[in-house]
């Protein structure tokens, strides 16, 4: 009889331990799931000055400020361009920046946040601030240089006095510094970033960009209810001066 009692006690103790272990495991599982859902994962393929590995770029700071003000914790992933946007399209991550309009036609699960992060300005830089550029045709009077692979320039720059296509940003600015060309073509903020980092004086962006394209934030459609909140917060940052304060650090 005593043996049966001891056996039953061991069985009950084992059963309780199993139950407690199961409840703890279940609680840890749901806690981890909840934590995962609380973090809004955002991808980017941008480079400095727009995005950096330390998340100190222009886009990084605007995105972080926006979501902090909305009370949403985020994690920024730096990925290759195709993977960055495809991961959001399939729902592996929640958002992606910064892209041009119209990508929802190709990526059916992406929803645009229809408030610009910034205007991406394709711009002429020169040592001669008196030069006036008003469209692609006005480049024909000058010796021009740009970097290989920039399709917008390859498609639109025709009939210049001379045209040099180089492989690096250092080579391009070197052409201008050494008076081998009159104008170089680049993106405005990237140009300013290069000048600042290299402490180069006497070169400036000509006043009127050759082309301007808005850059936007996209999210997976499962989070589409956030869109109006993000748009509203981006507009608020622009209206109260916080946006300009961030932008001024890069110009």
Structural domains of the chain ordered from first start? 37-117+216-248 (3.40.190.10), 121-211 (3.40.190.10)
Contact status, residue 58 vs residue 119, Cβ threshold 8 Å:
no
> In the prediction, which pLDDT does 16 show?
53
pLDDT of 47: 87
In angstroms, rounded to a whole number, what is the distance separating the alpha carbons of residues 129 and 208? 11
Contact 62/117 with Cβ under 8 angstroms?
Answer: yes
pLDDT at 226: 97
What's the CA gap between 23 and 15, in Å, rounded? 12
pLDDT in tens, 115-155: 999 999 999 999 999 999 999 999 999 999 999 988 899 99
Predicted pLDDT at 14: 53
10-residue block means of pLDDT along the chain (251 residues)?
Answer: 48 51 47 56 93 96 97 96 94 95 93 95 95 95 94 93 95 97 95 93 94 95 97 98 92 71
pLDDT of residue 218: 97
- Per-residue burial over 179-204, b if 16 or more Cβ lie within 10 Å, else e, is eebbbbbbbbbbbbbbbeeeeeeebe
Q: Which two tokens stand for residue 158?
A: 């025709």
What integer pLDDT is reported at residue 36 of this predicted model?
A: 41
pLDDT reported for residue 10: 54
CB of 66 within 8 A of CB of 237? yes
């Amino acid at each position: 009889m005593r043996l049966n009692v001891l056996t039953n006690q061991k069985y009950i103790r084992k059963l309780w331990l199993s139950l407690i272990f199961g409840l703890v495991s279940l609680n840890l599982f749901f806690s981890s799931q909840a934590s995962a859902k609380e973090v809004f994962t955002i991808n980017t393929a941008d480079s400095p000055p727009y995005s950096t590995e330390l998340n100190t770029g222009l886009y990084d700071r605007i995105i972080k400020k926006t979501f902090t003000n909305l009370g949403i914790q985020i994690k920024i992933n730096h990925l290759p361009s195709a993977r960055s946007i495809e991961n959001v399209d399939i729902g592996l991550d929640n958002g992606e920046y910064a892209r041009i309009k119209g990508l929802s036609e190709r990526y059916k699960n992406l929803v645009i946040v229809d408030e610009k992060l910034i205007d991406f300005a394709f711009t002429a830089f020169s040592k001669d601030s008196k030069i006036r550029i008003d469209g692609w045709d006005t480049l024909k009077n000058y010796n021009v240089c740009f970097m290989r692979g920039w399709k917008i320039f390859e498609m639109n720059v025709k009939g210049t006095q001379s045209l040099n296509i180089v492989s690096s940003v250092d080579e391009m600015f070197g052409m201008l510094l050494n008076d081998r060309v009159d104008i170089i073509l680049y993106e405005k903020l990237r140009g300013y970033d290069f000048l600042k980092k290299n402490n180069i004086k006497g070169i400036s962006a000509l006043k009127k960009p050759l082309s301007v394209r808005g850059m936007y934030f996209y999210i997976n459609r499962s989070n589409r209810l956030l869109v109006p909140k993000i748009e509203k917060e981006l507009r608020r940052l622009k209206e109260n001066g916080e946006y300009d304060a961030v932008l001024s650090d890069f110009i």
